Structure 1
Amino acid sequence: MKCSSFRLPEDVMIDIFLRLEVKNLARLRCVCKSWNTLLTSKTFVEIHLNQSMRNPRPLLFRHGISPSYLGFYSTKCKEFEDLCDPPFRTQLADLDVVGSCNGVLCFCSNGSDRSLIYLWNPLIKKYMTLPRPSLNPRYLGFGVNSVSGHLDDFKVVYSLRSNSWKNIAYGFPRSIEINRSHINSSVFLNGSVHWCARFSCYHDNSCPWLIVSFDFAKEIFQTVMMPYDLSTDDADKYLNVFDGYLCVFATIPNNTFRSYELWVMKEYGLTESWTKLYTIEKPQRIWWPLGFTERGKIFIRGECRHGGYGLLVYNPHSDTFKCIGVHLPYYAIQVLNFVESIIEPVSQSLILSRS
């Protein structure tokens, strides 16, 4: 279909389109060829993504049970916004989320076989199923090659630009074990995916903690140590991103009740720049931080006043907890930083790391 002969200047059209929700932009692509060309152009997609990155949204994924749940929570509106069910056959209850990047989610099958992997943009309802790797991946990470010039150059570790898996010369360090837990997934920041890890000392609890990263552009693994105060204890640790900084939640050992410290790396890659921001104390033995709200508060899974476990929001400035009325079964919730985009996951190339 051709649009009307009366056409606004392109910069005016872009300004109008940037004010619309992603789901409406997806519909407008069908109006006429010129609108579709503009809305799928590299210029518009990049401007739209940069605008969205200033306002990431917390995405909650309740998994491992049926029914599972995937949706946004707004602390401003104090309500949930459900996302549509994924279009692929596998149910959410049978999936783990690997990560979120540029508006695209990466899922893999849970359990012993993790070779079924999907990429999905839930706002424009586009997805692709990755070809199964010849090896069952032990660890997974998801991100984008930020220096390639392609916003959709997604990579799954183990480039989405030939639809095939690629072996890299130097695999995952053999002397290191990634700390796998129900909430300790990989974290993407500064063009690299990061995992919380520990040197392999078998049953020696004094083995140092560290962070392993994979640079998608250079295709190399790198390491950086945890804060010195956290490097050798046996307490739980979870990675996240806070206000653009790599951060770690760490359990305070030898405490009557479980408490956490929040540390941030002020200068990326520099061990000496680790800084402790908060100490969070809650008189419960079983609770843990999950991630951050859009206003810098902290999502926590813990016990609410009604006696069951639910989702709480912690305000570090007032040192208060507030239950937001979401029932959570044990070990079944993740919080992701999600950026809205109109990027479609399409076939490119994949990296396979042998461990």
Structure 2
Amino acid sequence: MGKFSYMRLKGSQNLRLRLLLSTLSSTPILIEDIRADATWPGLRPYEVSFLRLLEKVSDDCVVEINETGTKLKYKPGIVMSGRHLVHDCGTSRSIGYFLEPLVVLGLFGKKPLSIRLKGITNDSKDPSVDTFRSATIPMLKQFGVPSEGLDLKIESRGVPPHGGGEVILSVPIVDSLKAITWIDEGMVKRIRGFTFSTRVSSQFENTMIHAARGIFNRLLPDVHIFTDHKAGEQAGKSPGYGISLYAETTSGCVISVDTAVSYARGEDEGELEDEKELSPPGDVGEEIASALLGEIEQGGVVDSTHQGLLFLLCALCPQDVSKVRVGKLAPYAIEVLRHIRDFLGVKFVIKPDPSTETVILKCVGCGLKNLSRKYNGTHNISGYMESAKNGDLPEDVILEILLRLPVKTLLQLKCVCKHWYALIGSLSFVNQHFSQESNQEHLLIRHYRPDEERYAFALYVDEIFSGYEEPDHLQMPVTVAALMGPLNGIFCVVSLSGHMALLNPALRQFKPLPLVHPYVQPHLSSYDDLLGFGLDPYNGDYKLVSIQYFWNEEMDVPHYPSLVSVYNSGSDSWRHFEDVNLVNSSRCAYRSLCNTYLNGVYYWLTEFNDTDVAILAFDMSSEKFPEIQVPDCIKSKEGDLALYEGSIALLSCDLDKIDKCVDVWVMKKEGCWTKILTVGPCQDIKWPLGFWKNSELLLETGTSLLTLYNVYTQKLRTVEARRKENGFFIYWVFSYKESLVSLKGEGNKCKLWDTSSDLIRDFFK
């Protein structure tokens, strides 16, 4: 292996943590006496599997193990990550054992990570994949990790002893994390959860839910636990069941617990323990509910399982102070603090808070940066900031200032020097800026001014609607037929004549798309089309799907099948599919008034004979059209789709009644719906328009007024929109954030967005 200065360690304790810190700090390690005195000496199968995983995501990583497995030499390489990786985690530990180190390494990789992990998804030893999705991912976002590209998709479930589960983990890259002050625990506002069952009766899940709710209902009314019964190949290879619960607080904290019941393994050897009695589902539900209440009672911004990861992320932050509050320190968290000191040189100041029986920890981060990321081919952030020579401010402080500035100011600062020009235009800076809390989400309302015969956009810049603007760059010609998005600040604009374009209003960039020119038989005429706008999660390309419906003029009947065309921004071209088998081509489909793209899938509401409602979906990656059923009780009602708390929501309303109610149904998994709230009865409701910031339902009421219903306080408030003498009519409502995402690329087809220019006028004729 050559001559390196090795950190010498002994024993098998915290081997995964040691390997992770060794990789992050580029410190070669030598570990001896790995279970040397045990009946089964040496590395365990799951530890060997983790080493193989490190080899897959790293370049030039060197692993040497002696014949007995009691001695390990490890020289870390460069974390490369990459897409379409596959790793079998085995069955001696669950996938959760591998997720925590893998997501940290993925953040500092050279490329975004996309990996399929096979094995056990749920057991009672490691955090489950459900806990990772509900608690770990939100915690990562606190440190500035962008939401786009951060996901865990559960393909199938697997429990001990034989596993059979599969998940797909996606991790974006960052240049550095964000130092945080996170000490406000807040108050618990709701409890959510998931149950699962594989190769056993789904009634087990209902029993667990009933038992858990029996404890929570006495304390909190907002409790929703969703089921996930698996059968066939998606049920893995062994029978089992379990439950994952998490509490969300008013300050954004997520406290989680989980457990699973199956045939158990031996502690170390991965062997089965014969004839061990399974816990009844009712006992499991009560025990896990009590465990969650215990975690909440001990306080802190995270649960005890996540303390170690929280401390590690703080230690990896820039050289600024991070401050967090936790409950009683867990044994593993204490070990993490010790290893952080040894590998990274970061020491925490630990101060108990007797008034709350919690602990406050402070540290100055080691300033880990993703040095493998390149900007403009030659420089990284450090190089730009060092070259900028702006006084004596540290580079991290300058970067933090830039990230908090609005887009308009940043565009002006690109002229300061070539280094800042490249930095502000870099992909990493663009992503960090978009995810910054200072880049607030605004309410964007498109309405019609009949006195001026034009559409206008009103931008409300805060939650109390005290600031009202009609920015010039957000105004549209009256011939705009549809506006879809926004995705990363990008809209798709469609004119009445069928012309389409991508638009970034903040950058004033406008990119006309090629015309759709499919071959159509002479006797067919198009009478309707359906559009959807989204992102391919695997390559980041924008996609636009068009479904055209035709009428056979010779037969005077509708023509099936419909014609599907898909635009890909990567190739800047359309592809046409004439033989796409839509589940029911005779359905009438409608595009929602708000954005319904979620996690690589676009959704439309469809109906048949005015009584049969369903949802048509388009997967941006597989380019397939699954159909999703809705609850029978709402199939005869009118409604619309929206996004709510990371799920697709169905807003159902019976408009024929005088006193109208809006029912909100949420789909946590395909075809499984839960009604979470009802608004009304109210005579003034005209139509639901979607959600804003996951806390307020937007409603059109009265004479085209915009009303917001707060789902927590159950109070209504009306936006005092400006009115002209001839009225003010609401049409579309969007949640909008400014973005630095550029539409410029190969071919340089991007144009300046100026509604007074002849180019824009001609486009929208």
Q: What's the TM-score once normalised by structure 1's chain length?
A: 0.79
Q: Could you tell me which residue of structure 1 aligns to residue 589 of structure 2?
A: 179
Q: In the aligned structure 2, how far is the partner of 1:210 from the partner of 1:70? A: 32
Change (3 A) 1:64 1:117: farther
Q: Could you tell me which residue of structure 2 aligns to residue 126 of structure 1?
A: 509
Q: Could you tell me which residue of structure 1 aligns to residue 494 of structure 2?
A: 108
- Secondary structure in 1 matching 2:401: helix
- Secondary structure in 2 matching 1:289: strand
- The AA in structure 1 aligned to 2:720 is G
Give aligned-pair identity as a percent. Answer: 25
Deviation at 1:122, TM superposition (A): 1.0
Given candidates 645, 651, 659, the residue that maps to 1:249 is: 651
Q: Could you tell me which residue of structure 2 aligns to residue 271 of structure 1?
A: 671
Q: In the aligned structure 2, how far is the partner of 1:216 from the partner of 1:118? A: 19
1:89-238 counterparts in 2 under 5 A? 91-92=477-478, 94-110=480-496, 113=497, 115-134=498-517, 138-148=529-539, 150=540, 153-158=541-546, 159-168=568-577, 171=580, 173=582, 175-176=584-585, 177-180=587-590, 184=593, 187-198=596-607, 200=608, 204-207=609-612, 209-230=613-634, 232-233=635-636, 235-238=637-640
Deviations 1:255-281 (CA, angstroms, capped at 9, x unpaired): 44222101112x24x222x11121111
Deviation at 1:174, TM superposition (A): 6.2
Q: In the aligned structure 2, how far is the partner of 1:141 from the partner of 1:42? A: 25
Is the Cα contact below 8 Å between 2:594 and 2:733 reproduced in 1? no
Matched, 1:324 2:709: no
- Secondary structure in 1 matching 2:590: coil
Is the Cα contact below 8 Å between 1:179 and 1:195 reproduced in 2? yes
Matched, 1:67 2:454: yes
Is the Cα contact below 8 Å between 1:58 and 1:294 reproduced in 2? no
- Secondary structure in 2 matching 1:107: strand
Deviations 1:57-89 (CA, angstroms, capped at 9, x unpaired): 3321124853312132232343323232458xx
Is the Cα contact below 8 Å between 1:64 and 1:94 reproduced in 2? no
- The AA in structure 1 aligned to 2:614 is L
Is the Cα contact below 8 Å between 2:685 and 2:699 reproduced in 1? no
Deviations 1:237-290 (CA, angstroms, capped at 9, x unpaired): 11111122211110147744222101112x24x222x11121111432651121
Q: In the aligned structure 2, how far is the partner of 1:10 from the partner of 1:171? A: 53
Change (3 A) 1:163 1:205: closer
Q: In the aligned structure 1, how far is the partner of 2:675 from the partner of 2:492? A: 31
Q: Higher relative CO (CA 8 A, sep ≥ 6), structure 1 or 2?
A: 1
Q: Could you tell me which residue of structure 2 aligns to residue 18 of structure 1?
A: 403
Is the Cα contact below 8 Å between 2:499 and 2:515 reproduced in 1? yes
Deviation at 1:125, TM superposition (A): 1.2
Q: Could you tell me which residue of structure 1 aligns to residue 412 of structure 2?
A: 27
Q: In the aligned structure 2, how far is the partner of 1:331 from the partner of 1:275? A: 33
Is the Cα contact below 8 Å between 1:290 and 1:299 reproduced in 2? yes
Q: In the aligned structure 2, how far is the partner of 1:25 from the partner of 1:296? A: 31
Matched, 1:281 2:668: no
Is the Cα contact below 8 Å between 2:454 and 2:477 reproduced in 1? no
- Secondary structure in 1 matching 2:516: coil
Change (3 A) 1:53 1:27: closer
Counting matched residue pairs gives 325
Q: In the aligned structure 2, how far is the partner of 1:315 from the partner of 1:253? A: 21
Is the Cα contact below 8 Å between 2:595 and 2:643 reproduced in 1? no
Q: In the aligned structure 1, how far is the partner of 2:614 from the partner of 2:438? A: 28
- The AA in structure 2 aligned to 1:79 is G
- The AA in structure 1 aligned to 2:530 is Y
State which drifts further: 120-129 or 136-145: 136-145
- Secondary structure in 2 matching 1:220: coil
Change (3 A) 1:164 1:64: farther
Q: In the aligned structure 2, how far is the partner of 1:334 from the partner of 1:195? A: 16
Structure with more of its chain in helix, by fraction: 2
Deviation at 1:322, TM superposition (A): 2.2
Is the Cα contact below 8 Å between 1:193 and 1:215 reproduced in 2? yes
State which drifts further: 321-330 or 239-248: 321-330
Is the Cα contact below 8 Å between 1:141 and 1:193 reproduced in 2? yes
Deviation at 1:16, TM superposition (A): 2.0
5+ residue gaps, structure 1: 350-355
Change (3 A) 1:244 1:316: same
Deviation at 1:12, TM superposition (A): 4.1
Q: Could you tell me which residue of structure 1 aligns to residue 24 of structure 2?
A: none
- Secondary structure in 1 matching 2:625: strand
Work out which of the two has the higher radius of gyration on C-alpha atoms and give 1 or 2.
Answer: 2
Change (3 A) 1:20 1:125: same
- Secondary structure in 2 matching 1:300: strand
Deviation at 1:91, TM superposition (A): 0.8
Is the Cα contact below 8 Å between 1:127 and 1:344 reproduced in 2? no
Is the Cα contact below 8 Å between 1:262 and 1:279 reproduced in 2? yes
Change (3 A) 1:253 1:118: closer
Q: In the aligned structure 2, how far is the partner of 1:228 from the partner of 1:310? A: 31
Deviation at 1:319, TM superposition (A): 3.4
Q: Could you tell me which residue of structure 2 aligns to residue 290 of structure 1?
A: 689
Is the Cα contact below 8 Å between 2:639 and 2:651 reproduced in 1? yes
Q: In the aligned structure 2, how far is the partner of 1:5 from the partner of 1:43? A: 18
Is the Cα contact below 8 Å between 1:314 and 1:322 reproduced in 2? yes
Q: In the aligned structure 2, how far is the partner of 1:117 from the partner of 1:11? A: 41
- The AA in structure 2 aligned to 1:218 is S
Change (3 A) 1:324 1:332: closer
Change (3 A) 1:331 1:219: farther
